[in-house]
Homo-oligomer: A and B are copies of this chain.
Amino acid sequence: MGSIILVTGGARSGKSAIAESRTLVFGSPAVYVATAQALDAEMAQRIAVHRARRGAQWRTHAEPLDLCGALALTDGAPRLVDCLTLWLTNLILAERDWQAEAARLARTLAAQAAPVVLVTNEVGAGIVPENRLARVFRDAAGSLNQQVAQVADEVILAVCGLPVKVK
């Protein structure tokens, strides 16, 4: 079992639950690095549902942008990053250089001593979006996923709540 694990899948495919249980295998309390921002009621609702499922085995660290900084603050506890797609969205909305940040994340992950489990999304298996920004976003998400998968020890695809081993 490796120490960098990427869990990908479509919406509501059970990615987060799989990632949480894989993180706790490394020990607890674990650190939940939340990239979500409650910008509207729907997001606040999703965040509340996820938080309610996690129990006392978790400490939450909210960090929408500086993911590498959050990964530096470690005391050896396993970390779960949920999720990379929202982090990418935050970077793009804040007009940061997401390509530089993606490359920096890959380097940071390769240098970690304590385990990191990361959740991401499959967003490219539908019809080509008519919206240009959506096309740019799915290209960026696919590129980020590939870079993280390359340095990961394990990659898991969630299908109907079940893990499919990819790497």
Contacts and interface: CB of A to CB of B under 8 A. Distances in A.
Nearest to A134: B127
Contacts of A6: 160
Given A125-B124, A127-B129, A127-B137, A142 B11 contact: yes
A120 B155 CA distance: 22
Q: How large is the interface on A (under 10, 10 to 19, 20 to 34, 35 or more residues)?
A: 35 or more
Contacts of A127: 123, 126, 129, 131, 134, 137-138
Given A11-B139, A12-B138, A145 B161 contact: yes
A164 B166 contact: yes
Copies held by the complex: 3
B155 A166 contact: no
A150 B161 contact: yes
Interface in A55-76: none
A124 B155 contact: no
A160 B149 contact: yes
A59 to B, nearest CB: 27
Contacts of A155: 159-160, 162
